[in-house]
Amino acid sequence: MLQLNAVILFLLDFYIFFALRATKIEFIRTRWFTILWWGYSISLLAGLFISFKFSIPLSVRSIILVAFFLTAVSKFIYAIVLIIDDLRRGGIWVGRLFSGGKGKDLEERIETLEEPLPEVPKKGISRSDFLLKSGIVVAALPMIPLAWGVISTAYDYRIRRQKLVLPNLPKEFHGMTIAQISDVHSGSFYNKKAVMGGVEMLLGERPDVIFFTGDLVNNVASEMRDYQDIFSHLKADLGVYSTLGNHDYGDYYYGPGDSPAKRKNLQDLIETHKVMGWDLLMDENRTLKVGNEEISIVGVQNWGTGRFPKKGDLQKAMLGTDDKAVKLLLSHDPSHWRAQVLDTDIDVMFAGHTHGMQFGVRGENFQWSPAKYIYKEWAGLYTQGSSKLYVNTGYGFLGYPGRVGIAPEITIFELVKG
């Protein structure tokens, strides 16, 4: 994947570079511009390779990823402008081809005259030159909000409150509070103080129970080395329960197959949950008892539609829960809800995975993100019949080291007997 991204970016670099050289901006035609352009591009790709293949400080890795992401976005946007101009000029060329040359420029016709016409000064700029120059401005515009998303909102944790009305809820559980976080992605963090601030914010809510719904790391268990002590602070009277996400299995680092190193990595991650005091549910369930009443907490390994791993076994996880009035499910991928969960008597499924694509708008009565075109359920509460799904948009970040409009989320639920 890294090699493919490098090839795509190099092709974009060649395409944009020679398009820029066609403009009449003097500096772009100089040797210095060529050195700066290719020096930056090659250095950025080399830095990206080093950050993925070698152990380097998280702060340095973050700077490289930020620079790479912002540069890639700007180049893709500018490439779109160039493609539009190339299509326009291609259309003109085809039109001239079929018109037998009647559409030739005035300059071509002048060459056929015996006496040259007086030179007329040109006014303005050509359409192509306008598109090329305005494209530079358009490509630079996303840099402002994307940079702000890194500087200001990557760690701007927000608490979202949600009541869950459950008709079958035992009276003893009425008013019980649950805190949910998801998608920590510790390998992307570079600010331990800010991460601890989010943990303290959650603990300030004093929830009765805490759920974590997968993706503790990006690729390998060792990413938690600097953050294990921080997340060990998460405690609740009725326990902390967790499950695994698609990134936790090491598939994106070791490949989809099996190997001793990959198995050890997963075991190390499972041990990390244990050391932090989290009860990791691997296709199993636990009983919460308050007074003489009981409900079930069910947890499955990752199960997602499409290309995502289908590790979980929901039927196995639910064994022994038939007599429980309420069943709460931890499952990382929200696509699991429609694919399997709706066919069971699970009352509420808690998920994450989407991150809200870390970009969009999210208010009280309106929300939008490109994630909605990928996931039918991507953020917040969804209900179908007696079944509910809540999708948390994540505590951390992946790829783009920031968030624009979709804040990192800590969800506080209140169980209400309906």
Could you tell me the residue ranges of all domains in the chain? Answer: 2-141, 157-417
Q: Are 392 and 351 in contact (CB under 8 A)?
A: yes
Q: Are 410 and 198 in contact (CB under 8 A)?
A: yes
Calpha distance 298→296 (Å, rounded) = 6
pLDDT at position 214 is 97
Q: Report which secondary-structure segment, H or E, holds 178.
A: strand 177-181
Counting residues of the chain whose pLDDT is more than 70, the rounded percentage is 82
The number of beta carbons lying within 10 Å of the beta carbon of residue 197 is 14
Nearest to 131 by CA among 251, 243, 19: 19
Calpha distance 40→56 (Å, rounded) = 20
Q: Alpha helix locations (H) across 204-340?
A: 228-231, 251-254, 260-275, 314-317, 335-339
Question: What's the alpha-carbon Rg for the chain, to the nearest Å?
Answer: 27
pLDDT at position 287 is 97
Output 81 or 287, whichever has higher pLDDT.
287
Over residues 300-305, the mean pLDDT reads 96
Residue 114's pLDDT band, with cuts at 50, 70 and 90, is very low
What single letter denotes the amino acid at residue 103?
G
pLDDT above 70 for 10: yes
- Chain mean pLDDT for the chain: 85
Task: Look up the CATH number of domain 157-417.
Answer: 3.60.21.10
Residue 26 in tokens: 């003097």
Residue 272 in tokens: 């990390």
pLDDT above 80 for 3: no
**Which own/partner pairs from 57-63 qualify as long-range (CB within 8 Å, at least 24 positions apart)?**
58/189, 58/190, 58/226, 59/190, 61/190, 62/188, 62/190, 62/401
The CA-CA-CA angle for residues 408, 413, 418, to 5°, reads 150
Calpha distance 53→187 (Å, rounded) = 13
